[in-house]
């Protein structure tokens, strides 16, 4: 019986398509990890821009590490070792193959709303607004409105919560506020917001006699997303 033990041991790890069973286990685990990463990155990519950039960073990091690991694995083939290659290559291939089939968040959707703009203390009436819920529909991404100021001037208002920019076109100029300070009063899903902030005129072709800065109060309300 002792003489048969080496044969039984060798048979338990015999080659299958050129790979030992332990190596097939490495390939399988690596491929599963790649599939999970591919599906997960696809979902992150479908989220709003302030989150989706993480998917881009993850993809870049994964493929850089994967490429380096594959190159190291190829170099190790000359030494007879192939574990690194068997771990890296299936993960990269599986991630690329799985990515198009990954789940995505609910797509953006446009809904109705209303907005009211007050400039320099002159309160205008309430105008219709168009609101866009961001991918995933957890937060408002864009609010757009147009109407007339209290003095009768036509205005257009664009609020982009993705790149943190408020743009008001009025008096022949383009007034802008940017950054987190401008949106400090925005909380939750941003469906109902009231802001008071200065807007700075940045259009070089605007009439020279218009105010260089406007103190604006912006209120908006957006309908909820459809179920």
Domain ranges of the chain: 2-101, 109-222
Summarize pLDDT for 1-42 with one digit per residue, the tens.
455 544 444 445 556 556 778 888 888 999 999 899 889 888
Confidence (pLDDT) at 84: 83
What would the pLDDT profile of 68-88 be if each residue is shown by its tens digit? 888 888 887 777 777 788 888
User: For the chain, what's the residue count?
Assistant: 227
HSE value, Cβ hemisphere, 13 Å, CA-based, for 75? 6
How far is 176 from 201, CA to CA, in rounded Å? 6
Q: How many CA atoms lie within 13 A of 166 on its CB side?
A: 25
Instruction: For residue 10, give both structure tokens.
Output: 């060798």
DSSP string, the chain: -GGGHHHHHHHHT--BTTB-HHHHHHHHHHHHHHHHHHHHHHHHHTS-HHHHHHHHHHHHHHHHHHHHHHHHHHHHGGGT--HHHHHHHHHHHHHHHHGGGS--PPPPEEEEEEEEEEETTEEEEEEEEEEEEPTTSSSEEEEEEEEE-TTS-EEEEEEETTTTEEEEEETTEEEEEESTTTTTT--TT-SEEEEEEEEEE--TTS-TTS-SEEEEEEEEEEPPPP-
Mean pLDDT calculated for residue range 87-91: 86
pLDDT for res 47: 75
Give this prediction's pTM.
0.64
């Amino acid at each position: 019986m002792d003489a048969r033990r080496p044969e039984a041991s060798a048979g338990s790890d015999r080659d299958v398509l050129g790979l030992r069973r332990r190596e097939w286990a490495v390939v399988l685990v690596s491929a599963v990890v790649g599939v999970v990463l591919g599906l997960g990155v696809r979902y992150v990519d479908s989220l709003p821009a302030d989150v989706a950039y993480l998917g881009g960073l993850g993809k870049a990091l994964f493929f850089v590490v994967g490429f380096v690991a594959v190159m190291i694995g190829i170099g190790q083939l000359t030494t007879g070792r192939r574990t690194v290659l068997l771990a890296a290559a299936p993960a990269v291939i599986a991630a690329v193959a799985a990515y198009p089939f990954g789940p995505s968040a609910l797509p953006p959707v446009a809904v109705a709303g209303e907005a009211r703009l007050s400039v320099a203390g002159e309160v205008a009436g309430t105008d219709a607004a168009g609101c866009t819920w961001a991918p995933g529909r957890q937060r408002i991404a864009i609010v757009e409105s147009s109407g007339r100021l209290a003095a009768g001037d036509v205005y257009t208002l664009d609020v982009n919560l993705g790149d943190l920019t408020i743009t008001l076109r009025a008096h022949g100029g383009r007034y802008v506020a940017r950054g987190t300070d401008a949106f400090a009063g925005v909380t939750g899903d941003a469906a109902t917001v009231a802001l008071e902030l200065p807007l700075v005129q940045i259009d070089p072709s605007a009439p020279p006699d218009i105010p260089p800065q406007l103190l604006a109060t912006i209120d908006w309300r957006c309908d909820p997303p459809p179920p």
